[in-house]
Structure 1
Amino acid sequence: MGDIAGSLLGLVEFLLGTIVPFLFVLTVVVFVHELGHYLVGRWCGIGVQAFSIGFGPEIAGFTDRKGTRWKISAIPLGGYVKFVGDVSSTSQPDPASLKKLTDTERRSAFHLQPVWKRAATVFAGPFANFLLTVMVFSIMFAMFGRYVVEPMVAEVRPGSPAAESGILPGDRFISVDGVRIETFGDVQRIVSGRAGDPLVFVMERDGQQFRTTATPELTEQQDALGNTIRIGIIGVVNNQEVGQPRQIEYGPLEAVAAGVEETWSIIVRTGQFMKRLVAGREDRCQLGGPVKIADMAGRAASLGFEWLVQLVALLSAGIGILNLLPIPPLDGGHLLFYGMEAVMRRPVPEQVVEVVYRAGMLMVLIFMGFVFWNDLFGC
């Protein structure tokens, strides 16, 4: 009986401590993404057949007055909005199906709308994710402010890139790679994602500025959630005595501005990571899928609700960026076709669309398989 009770207790702890936070994070991010598609699509006069959180068989749902089926489906790893005229949840066009639509349906069919309406509807999903990230950080900055330290060097590790470049204790960072530095965190954000890249540092010493170049080296560290991450460092240390910690408080507009800035910083760093990953200069083991996200959600929830909300913001920005990649059936793939259509002033030939969709779907499936492998077996 003791073993059974212990197993049941462990299962309950796993469900409440990991699965529930995971579903909360994923549901919020997916709902906001699909709501962006839905709202702009409705604004453009496009009919919506279904709004689903998850894929596969329907678990629960209802049909609203406009005929849209709102539902929760069995596989909680995404979601979709199915517009009138869509052949599938990926919004792939099907000329044969479009010909079967009634005149009323054709007026609200997604694929028969002007290209700008289709593009706006598709872009609204990732844009909604970015807005969610901005909103989360804006609220947190308005409520709690931000704790920062001055960009001063307290210690330099012997033999480190900083030591070799001539940086000394007491120096102050002015800019890194052309980016103005306000806090020590600014230095860390730039350097952490640029391992192996020579960076130009403008420093201040005894009231005089000088330039030097240092190449961050790759090292393994643990983040606040206990994940092992590989980041670039130059070997400098900041402490409270030298860094002069201070609390920044924000008004409503300042908090929004700071939220936009933080979101843009996340987008830039993610873009740099993906660029370096494609070039083979980034650790592919840093990629993770549902299992890793669930683990992070559980860890974040154990630290407090504000940590879970921050994870929502980070994942939302990541989903927005991922969906803008120019690969069908992702949103960016649709936008690529619409851009070509706008330039050519006619739709892309059906044969080309079919081939590219199949190739894109294969790429997405391979990527999903890879991150699942990373989740289950690591590298």
Structure 2
Amino acid sequence: MPEIFNSVLFFVVAIGVLITFHEYGHYWVARRMGVIVLRFSVGFGPVIWRYQPKKSHTEFVVSAIPLGGYVRMLDESQEEVPEQYLPEAFNRQPLYKRSAIVAAGPLANFLLAGILYGLTFMIGTEGLRPVIGTLMENGLAAKSGLMVGDEIRTIDGKSNRSWDEHHFYLLDKIISEEIVVYGVENDNGVRTVGVNFGELEEVDLQSSSIDTVIGMYPATPQIRPIVDRTVPGYPAEAAGLQPGDEIVSINNSPVNSWNDLVGLISQTNERVLNIRFSRGGIDQEVLLEPRIVERNGTRVKQIGIAVNAEQQLRDANATVKLRYGFIESLARGFETMWSTTALTLKMLAGMVTLQQSADSIGGPIAIAEHAGKAAEAGINNYLTFLALLSVSLGILNLLPIPVLDGGHLMFHAYEAISGSPPTERMLIVANQIGLFLLICLMGFAFYNDIARIF
């Protein structure tokens, strides 16, 4: 229940922030263009809060359904406009002003994404040192000449200080099937290695990580099976395991690492586990029965303990903290926003041409689940999630589908070319088609959500 509550809470926060920023883009430019805004709404449906400043035409409202928002401007196509306010009506504005107002919403989302990514760089990110620990046999990295022990210093000339520093950049290059030049260093000196992503036969970024696609993994020390905390209500807590206990064996099979522990618990056929652990240098034993839970459609056995892998990696000097100044953080933030946008557009194009699976399209359930997990993982993960979602919202709204901002811009392009706006009949038919397409897209997203659950 707490997980569901957190997911819903952080979903509402995420959607609220993104919608507010998007609609504020429309509102801010409309006011600068001299257009009267009658209502600024976050959400749809019944109004649960409203505020209208004195001597202002604008009513600010929050509505009950937090799945969208809108800015309603003075417009003769919507209502009768008093003569003295006609110069401030949206439909009376020149084409460039109307287009700027419409485009401002999606552009605000891209701006927000750049700022959010910039904040993550200012706060600082912790990552693994960029040292290759494992190479997949016959993987692209091994074939290209990369070696175990190589420290990746540069990627296409860009300074590289952690394993995931150029995550989005590499994703973009993988999809584009381009060559990336790695500058690496080991005990034998410095060299450059070109990796041609065009040599990859199949790329499944939906279910595979970048490391798996390239065929290399970072060097990491073994995580010792030391209990950091027990999960309330699970067998480990009931059996009396405590933070600081180090698991020594399970059913007489030695446990040397956290991976050993997870593997033994998941693979055992025994109903009851005999767990030997060390507490204060003294070995003790407990008997417990693992709980079977479902994770991503798979039934797994758990006893309810967690380790502090991050702290163990820090203690082993296997991580590096990256933090940048204000200017460089913003520069890197907007560079990451651009890479994310390019990557999203390429994946979208791949879906249209059936080269990429559309199974990754998610609806509110998937967004809520990811929001909760990102928030639990820390502020930086949540900010990164918000930035990625903001880019997606910006791109979605620029699609040339009537009822979306991109559809309105399409009508404006028609007006610029033909010299006159679309007829009322054309607008009605186009909006009906657009609404149908939007409902189909939402239905498909909901279907993917339900399919993931069941």
Q: Does residue 129 of structure 2 align to residue 140 of structure 1? A: no
C-alpha separation in 2, matches of 1:303 and 1:169:
30
C-alpha separation in 1, matches of 2:355 and 2:172:
11
Which of 139, 142, 146 is equivalent to 1:163? 142
Which of 42, 46, 52 is equivalent to 1:63? 52
Q: For residue 40 of structure 2, what is the aligned residue in structure 1? A: 51
Paired residue secondary structure (1:237): strand
Cα 1:165/1:210, change in 2 over 3 Å: closer
Deviation at 1:207, TM superposition (A): 5.2
Paired residue secondary structure (2:164): helix
Cα 1:192/1:145, change in 2 over 3 Å: closer
Cα 1:204/1:250, change in 2 over 3 Å: closer
C-alpha separation in 2, matches of 1:286 and 1:280:
13
C-alpha separation in 2, matches of 1:366 and 1:125:
23
Q: Deviations over 1:290-336 (max 9, x none)?
A: 11111112222323344333322221121112111122211112122
Cα 1:82/1:171, change in 2 over 3 Å: same
Deviation at 1:358, TM superposition (A): 2.2
AA aligned to 2:122 is A
Q: Does residue 421 of structure 2 align to residue 347 of structure 1? A: yes
Given that 2:36 and 2:88 are in contact with CA atoms closer than 8 Å, whether structure 1 keeps it comes out as: yes
Given that 2:123 and 2:380 are in contact with CA atoms closer than 8 Å, whether structure 1 keeps it comes out as: no
Which of 120, 127, 130 is equivalent to 2:100? 120
Deviation at 1:28, TM superposition (A): 0.8
Given that 1:195 and 1:231 are in contact with CA atoms closer than 8 Å, whether structure 2 keeps it comes out as: no
Q: For residue 218 of structure 2, what is the aligned residue in structure 1? A: 238
Matches within 5 A, 1:1-379: 10=1, 13=2, 16-65=5-54, 66-85=56-75, 94=77, 97=78, 100-144=80-124, 147=127, 149-150=129-130, 153-169=132-148, 180-183=157-160, 184-185=163-164, 188-192=167-171, 198-203=177-182, 209=192, 211=194, 213-214=196-197, 215-216=199-200, 217-218=202-203, 229-231=207-209, 233-239=213-219, 246-378=320-452
Cα 1:155/1:34, change in 2 over 3 Å: same
Paired residue secondary structure (1:49): strand
AA aligned to 1:116 is Y
Cα 1:162/1:249, change in 2 over 3 Å: closer
Cα 1:280/1:190, change in 2 over 3 Å: farther
Cα 1:101/1:366, change in 2 over 3 Å: same
Structure 2: where are the runs of 5+ without partners?
A: 222-316
Deviation at 1:373, TM superposition (A): 1.0
Flag the structure with higher helix content. 1
Deviation at 1:240, TM superposition (A): 6.5
Q: TM-score, normalised by structure 1?
A: 0.80
Given that 1:174 and 1:201 are in contact with CA atoms closer than 8 Å, whether structure 2 keeps it comes out as: no
AA aligned to 1:43 is R
Cα 1:269/1:252, change in 2 over 3 Å: same
Given that 1:175 and 1:201 are in contact with CA atoms closer than 8 Å, whether structure 2 keeps it comes out as: no
Given that 1:193 and 1:273 are in contact with CA atoms closer than 8 Å, whether structure 2 keeps it comes out as: no
Paired residue secondary structure (2:122): helix
AA aligned to 1:252 is F
Deviation at 1:261, TM superposition (A): 1.1
Deviation at 1:102, TM superposition (A): 2.2
Q: TM-score, normalised by structure 2?
A: 0.68
Q: For residue 89 of structure 1, what is the aligned residue in structure 2? A: none
C-alpha separation in 2, matches of 1:156 and 1:209:
17
Given that 1:18 and 1:294 are in contact with CA atoms closer than 8 Å, whether structure 2 keeps it comes out as: yes
C-alpha separation in 2, matches of 1:196 and 1:33:
29
C-alpha separation in 2, matches of 1:189 and 1:315:
14
Q: Deviations over 1:78-101 (max 9, x none)?
A: 111111117xxxxxxx4xx56x32
AA aligned to 1:130 is F
**Structure label with greater radius of gyration:** 2
Deviation at 1:27, TM superposition (A): 0.5
Q: Deviations over 1:41-81 (max 9, x none)?
A: 11111111211111122222133332322212121111111
Paired residue secondary structure (2:384): helix
Q: Deviations over 1:221-269 (max 9, x none)?
A: xxxxxxx74455121223369x996544322111111111111121111
